[in-house]
Structure 1
Amino acid sequence: MLELRDVTAGYGRTRVLEGVSLHVPEGGAVAVMGHNGAGKTTLLRVAVGLLPVMRGQVLLDGEDVTRLRPNKRVARGLGYVPQGQLSFPHMTTLENLQLVSTQLSAIDGVLDTFPALRDLLGRRAGLLSGGQRQQLAIARTLLTNPRMLILDEPTEGIQPNVVAEIEGVIAALTARGDLSVLLVEQHVGFALRSTDAYYVLESGRVTSSGAGGPGALDAVRTAMAV
């Protein structure tokens, strides 16, 4: 579904990614892990089209989208939830959702995925907890009907019970078979439970990769300890 081929990218003359290759299969879920400064968010910015590549290719559903703008990638089925639980704080939860879709059936569908938001539709997003804002951010992206969902640190600063809910949502979405997920995450256990495969970045290079699941925990911890 999404593929990065030998991608080098950065800011100005500074290279942050160096020859990174990554593959997210259709209907699959892949985690990217690494310490702060490893290049994880830069990788996602390249995938979304917010940062041009210096070398390499980005393919979405087999199509070369390396030079396409972000809105064109969204039109081809890419959905992006950036880090930071972003919302429009002075608008209500419902108004945040209606910015993407005014179809009641579509909104009702994402509220089935995040039922806690039903009781918060009239509350300003700026008054929601961090976990509630993160659920709102993911729900808003799901309203675009993506086939490829990219999540940047979805558990950062969120209470454990909401982390468990988000983990359940990712599992339910990928179980449908029609949605691929690329997840950047610091919490190794959460990342491996939520995905089928992983990549570890260190100083902008892939230093380890393999199948996901709890059995990969020791291998990932060893790779990230280097």
Structure 2
Amino acid sequence: MLQFDDVHVGYGRSIVLHGATLEVPTDGVAAVLGHNGAGKSTLLRAAAGLLKPRRGMIRMDGEDITRLAPHQRVARGMAYVPQGQQSFPHLTTAENLQLVADGRRDGRAAVAEALDLFPALRELMGRRAGLLSGGQRQQLAIARALITRPRLLLLDEPTEGIQPSVVAEIEQTIMAVAARGGMSVLLVEQHVGFALTAAERYYVLEAGRVTSSGAGGREAEGAVREALTV
């Protein structure tokens, strides 16, 4: 679904990604792990079109999207949930969801499906997003992305600063939507156990380079933790 081929990305004169090569399986989950500053968020921003590669190619479903604008990638079925549980804080949960659903023929059904995936949000529909907990705002951010019915979902640190019970719920939701088919997920994460449970494929980034990769699953945890300590 998504392929990075020798992608170099930077800010100004500083190069952050050095020849990143990886792929997200169709209807599957790929996880990118690494320490702070390894280039994980930069990689997602390049995938979303917010940063232009200096070199290399990015393909989505076989199409070269390297030079496409973010809105053109969205039109092809990409959705991006950035780091930080982002929402419109002065709008209610319902209004945040409706903003995405407006103009869609299936908007009402898409909202209902998102609430089925995150049922805790049903009790918060009238509450302003700025008054939600971090875990609730993260669920809202992912629900908003899912309303667009993406073919490719980009998630940046969805478990950061969130209580363990909500981490488990988000993990189950990601695995459930990937398992039903029709959507691929590129997951950037520091929570190794969560990432490997959800992912079919993992990549470890270190100083902007892919230093390790392999099949996902908890059996890969030892190899990943070793790669992260090198």
TM-score by length of 2: 0.97
Hey, what does 1:182 align to over in structure 2?
Answer: 186
Report the CA distance between 1:106 and its aligned residue. 1.7
What does the per-residue CA deviation read over 1:68-101, in whole Å, with 9 as the maximum and x for residues that have no partner?
Answer: 0001001001011000000000000000001100
Offset at 1:161?
A: 0.4
Structure 2 distance, partners of 1:122, 1:79, is 25
Equivalence for 1:167: 171
What is the deviation of 1:209?
Answer: 0.1
Q: Residues 110 and 149 of structure 2 are in contact (CA less than 8 Å); yes or no, is this contact kept in structure 1?
A: no
Q: Which residue of 1 aligns with 2:46?
A: 46
Q: CA deviation at 1:104?
A: 2.0
Task: Give a deviation string over 1:39-63, Cα, whole Å, max 9, x none.
Answer: 0000001000000000000101100
Aligned pairs for 1:110-189 (under 5 A) are 110-189=114-193
SS at match of 1:84: coil
The aligned counterpart of 1:67 is 67
Distance in 2 between residues matched to 1:112 and 1:37, nearest whole Å: 35
Structure 2 distance, partners of 1:195, 1:25, is: 10
Q: Shift of the alpha carbon at 1:224?
A: 0.4
Q: Which runs of 4 or more aligned residues in structure 1 lie more than 6 Å from their structure 2 counterparts after TM superposition?
A: none
Amino acid at match of 1:49: G
- Partner Cα distance (2:84, 2:209) in 1: 25
CA RMSD between the two structures: 0.6
1:99 aligned onto 2:99: yes
Secondary structure of the residue aligned to 1:99 is helix
C-alpha displacement of 1:110: 0.7
Displacement after TM superposition at 1:139 (Å):
0.3
Q: What is the total number of aligned residue pairs between the two structures?
A: 226
C-alpha separation in 2, matches of 1:191 and 1:25: 15
Q: Distance in 2 between matches of 1:120 and 1:193?
A: 29
| SS of alignment partner, residue 32 of structure 2 | strand
| 1:56 equivalent in structure 2 | 56
How far does residue 193 in structure 1 lie from its aligned partner after superposition?
A: 0.4
Say whether residues 1:33 and 2:42 are aligned partners: no
Tell me the distance in 1 between the aligned counterparts of 2:95 and 2:170. Answer: 22
Paired with 1:90 and 1:159, the residues of 2 have a C-alpha distance of: 24
| Counterparts of 2:93 and 2:64, CA distance in 1 | 36
Amino acid at match of 1:198: Y
Say whether the 8 Å CA contact 2:110–2:148 is kept in structure 1: no
| Residue 2 of structure 1: aligned partner | 2
Supply the distance in 2 between the matched residues of 1:193 and 1:170 (Cα, whole angstroms): 10
**Structure 1: gaps spanning 5 or more residues:** none
The answer to whether 1:213 aligns with 2:212 is: no
Q: Secondary structure at the match of 2:58?
A: strand
Paired amino acid for 2:130:
G
CA distance in 1 between counterparts of 2:181 and 2:109 reads 21
Structure 2 regions of 5+ residues with no counterpart? Answer: none
Q: 1:198 aligns with which of 196, 202, 205?
A: 202
Tell me, in whole angstroms, the C-alpha distance in 2 between the residues paired with 1:49 and 1:104.
Answer: 29
Question: Per the alignment, in what secondary structure is the counterpart of residue 100 of structure 2?
Answer: coil
Identical-residue share of aligned pairs (%): 68
What SS class does the counterpart of residue 146 from structure 1 fall into?
Answer: coil
TM-score where L is the length of structure 1: 0.99
